[in-house]
Structure 1
Amino acid sequence: MVKVVMFFLILILTIGAYAQEFKYPYNPLTERDPLRPLIDEEGNILIKEKKEGSSFVLQGIIYSPQGSVAIINNELLHEGDALMGQFKVKKIESNGVVLEKEGKEYFLKWEG
């Protein structure tokens, strides 16, 4: 019995000595906090963070003829919605999003 206990004790210590820390690639500026819930108890979407600056990150597109949705800078947007109070989501396509500001159009290409 003592030999079995000693064997497992040595085995556990040996495994612990060889274990290494793995650093997961995570960028808090472009990715949401994985520990924050996406919706509340009533089903309302909680991701409402707005990024400062002129760069937008297109994180995803749900394309459908009945109504498409784009996720830009952690914000869920439909066609016609305002982005950061300056840009309007003019059109959501399967390969990107057309934004409009002061009559000029900008295309955010989906890189996924």
Structure 2
Amino acid sequence: MPLRDSSNFFLSAGGYVGIGLFGKNYVPDSYTGTASHDFTFGNTGTQQRMDYGINFNVGYRLRSGYMVSVGYLQGIRDTAPDHAAYEQRNRAYSFTIGYQF
């Protein structure tokens, strides 16, 4: 939606695909305080390797090229292993300040 000075509001939406490469889980432990475990991937691991979902953004772009936006990402795939008694999906909120060339 352009404004008088060619600044504009914008909306964006789309999908994403993620591939797990490595990571750590930090788990509270009553004996030592915290414990860390490396992620393992696959049906017998701690995570599924592939993830996919949707994201939405709304923002404002100035004529000079500077912009600010906020967004939300929602995972669709359950990334918990098949044997898990729980569901696990990624979610994220974002705030961006940037410049568009």
Q: TM-score w.r.t. structure 2 length?
A: 0.27
The structure where helix makes up a greater share of residues is 1
Q: Which structure ranks higher in relative contact order (CA pairs < 8 Å, sequence separation ≥ 6)?
A: 2
Q: TM-score w.r.t. structure 1 length?
A: 0.25
Larger radius of gyration: 1
The structure where strand makes up a greater share of residues is 2
